[in-house]
Amino acid sequence: MNKKMNTDIHKNTDHKKQSQKITEKNTSNSKLHTFREVLHYVRKYLGWMIVSILLAGIIVALTLYMPILIGTAIDCIVYGSIDFPKIESLLLRGIGVIIATSIAQWIMNVINNKVTYHVVRDIRDEAFHKIEVLPLHYIDGHSSGEIVSRVIADAEQFADGLLMGFTQFFTGVITILGTLLFMVYYSRVITLVVVCITPLSLFVANFIARKTFSMFKLQSETRGEQTALVDEMIGNEKVVKAYGHEKDALDQFDEINERLQNCSLQAIFFSSLTNPATRFVNSMVYAGVAVTGAVSVIMGHMSVGMMSCFLNYASQYTKPFNEISGVVTELQNALACAARIFEFIQEEPQTPEAADAVVLEHAEGAVHCDDISFSYVPDRKLIEHFNLNVKPGQNIAIVGPTGCGKTTIINLLMRFYDVDQGTISVDGTDIRHLTRQSLRKNYGMVLQDTWLRQGTIRDNITMARPDATESEIIQAAKAAHSHSFIKRLPRGYDTIIGEEGGMLSQGQKQLLCITRVMLALPPMLILDEATSSIDTRTEMKIQSAFAKLMQGRTSFIVAHRLSTIQNADVILVMRDGNIIEQGSHEELLARDGFYARMYHS
């Protein structure tokens, strides 16, 4: 039995070791892939990078020349009479070297800043453009706060790490190589002491760097989760307060904050070990050079000035290891953040436009749905074998219980989602063979959920027609019954409203969205509970305006209040993704079926 237990323990240990190796290998591959992606963006600024490397070489050469001047000056004082003219010459040369080094350092820092922020700008641009071409199911499946965290916070962290890398990495590496060459030239014995102790510093930095990458990645992911929660709570604060959800929200935030604290502390703890560890190794290098140099001076193999020069070199040689070790841990954080950004950028975009896609100029409004099936989740059926034939100018109302697929039909008509099976055509052309932009331009859409951007009232109304004249804007506003409340605003149509409409009421926001459609006058309309937030009196007036607007235009009206759709040409009654009844209001009441029960209830 004991033998069996020992065998099981050995198996478990081997399995853990194998899992750890696989994890480390995946982490290593991830870092390598991310690093290649970073190089892809940096390659555009290769010319600036070459200039930066050349300046780093100049800075290092001048910095290494300074100890020689100091050592020579010491020898002028220590041995024999003091050579004041030579010391003065050395002093002037030293001042020249310091000024030249400072100028080169300043130019290099400017270039490194330029490259870093251009690279991050390019990445952010690509990330934002990615948002515009991502399929809607990705946006629906991820919180906005998490996406914002990737594009803003992770990009900022990446910029900080990249800038530190550019600033210190090149000069550090060149300084190490330069000091080694100088030391080899003057004393191979002392150089051998330095080279023998140095690998300890590299081993320590490498060990800690491998440990910190996964920790920094977890930190970045947890930060994104926290941003998503804050964004969600701010956007829905009224609901949170109304349902007394404050304590639960605080508990949830505290839990995420606790996890963020733990993973941040682990990442910072391991990364902060690097500098003290490398400083200890570097102090050993300095001590080794001091002892070996002192023996050489006593034996007459080198002068006191030359020993001073070597001690300077030892200090300059070890300094980059401290800087590079700090850079390495920062780079782990930067690469972890970059990995999340690139993961987002490399998400599969929406289905590209067909090669033969045509522009829909001005639709007549004939819409045909032929045996379409669709579901958001493959194993959960929603719409099956849906058929619909709409003639130009018809008003189609879609009614049914919650979750029956009414809004999904709208999403498919606008091609926010593509059907799984069957075809939807406009004027005889499959909408997958039309450009998305031209298809959507032919629809005017007013949804229950209003959307207004930060800007003036005029900017929001003219979104679909930026070239509209002042009289056309006012005429559309009067038709939508929004003109009166707009004129009461501090600056009328030039009043600036904040994100999501600022202090406007929900009804006023919806009136502005209706005004936008009234101005655009598209050939087809989609009205999804378009008057849900408007008072009954105003709604009656808008229904009258909609009736005029819909004349000669194909219209799809989604409504829960059946009183608003009694004049529709055809009413589609949906349940469980299928049309169970269709006809005019009077015809459906006469059948005394599902619609009649809904109406009378």
314 Cβ contact list (under 8 Å, min separation 6): 194, 285, 286, 289, 290
Which phi and psi (to 5°) does residue 247 adopt?
A: -65, -45
Q: Which helix (H) or strand (E) holds 554?
A: strand 554-558
Q: 253-283: buried (b, 16+ CB within 10 Å) or exposed (e) per residue?
A: eeebeebbeebbebbbebbebbbebbbebbe
Superfamily covering domain 17-345: ABC transporter type 1, transmembrane domain (1.20.1560.10)
Coil, strand, or helix at residue 225?
Answer: helix
Contact indicator for 559, 543 with CB cutoff of 8 Å: no
Q: In terms of DSSP H, where are the helices of 236-303?
A: 237-242, 246-298
**CATH 1.20.1560.10 domain position(s) in the chain:** 17-345
d(CA 136, CA 128): 15
Between the CA atoms of 277, 279, 285 and 286, what dihedral angle is there, to the nearest 10 degrees?
Answer: -160
User: What's the pLDDT tens digit per position in 25-51?
Assistant: 445 566 677 778 888 888 888 888 889
Q: Which residues of the chain have pLDDT under 70?
A: 1-31, 78-81, 166-167, 198-199, 201-202, 205-206, 208-211, 213, 235-239, 242-243, 274-275, 321-329, 499-502, 530-534, 541, 563
Which two tokens mark 256? 């995420």
d(CA 316, CA 311) in angstroms, rounded, equals 9
| Helix residue spans in 480-556 (DSSP H) | 483-487, 506-520, 536-550
Enclosing H/E stretch for 45: none
Would you say the C-alpha torsion 444, 448, 454, 459 has a positive or negative sign? Answer: positive
DSSP H or E segment with residue 505? none
CA-based torsion, 409, 411, 412, 413: positive or negative: positive
What is the full DSSP assignment across 400-425? -STTSSHHHHHHHHTTSS--SEEEEE
Q: How far apart are CA 226 and CA 301, in angstroms?
A: 64
Token pair for 169: 């990495």
Burial class (CB in 10 A: 0-12, 13-18, 19+), 465: middle
The contacts of residue 32 (CB under 8 Å, 6+ apart) are: none
Nearest to 97 by CA among 70, 72, 120, 124: 70
CA distance 237 to 221: 24
Q: Long-range contacts of range 97-100, CB-CB < 8 Å, 24 or more positions apart? A: 97/62, 97/65, 97/66, 97/69, 98/66, 100/58, 100/62
Q: Which of 385, 365, 363, 389 is nearest to 373 (CA)?
A: 385
- The residues with which 389 forms a beta bridge, in sequence order, are 368
Determine the 3-state secondary structure of 373 from DSSP.
strand
Q: What is the CA radius of gyration of the chain?
A: 36
User: What per-residue confidence (pLDDT) applies to 5?
Assistant: 42
Using CA atoms, how far residue 140 sits from 136, 143, 147, 222, 376, in Å, is 6, 8, 11, 20, 10
DSSP letter for 134, please: S
d(CA 375, CA 365): 26
- Please give the pLDDT value at position 103: 93
* Six token digits for residue 126: 């690509």
CATH for 367-600 (1.20.58.220, 1.10.10.10, 3.40.50.300, 3.50.50.60):
3.40.50.300
Check if the beta carbon of residue 165 is closer than 8 Å to that of residue 323: no
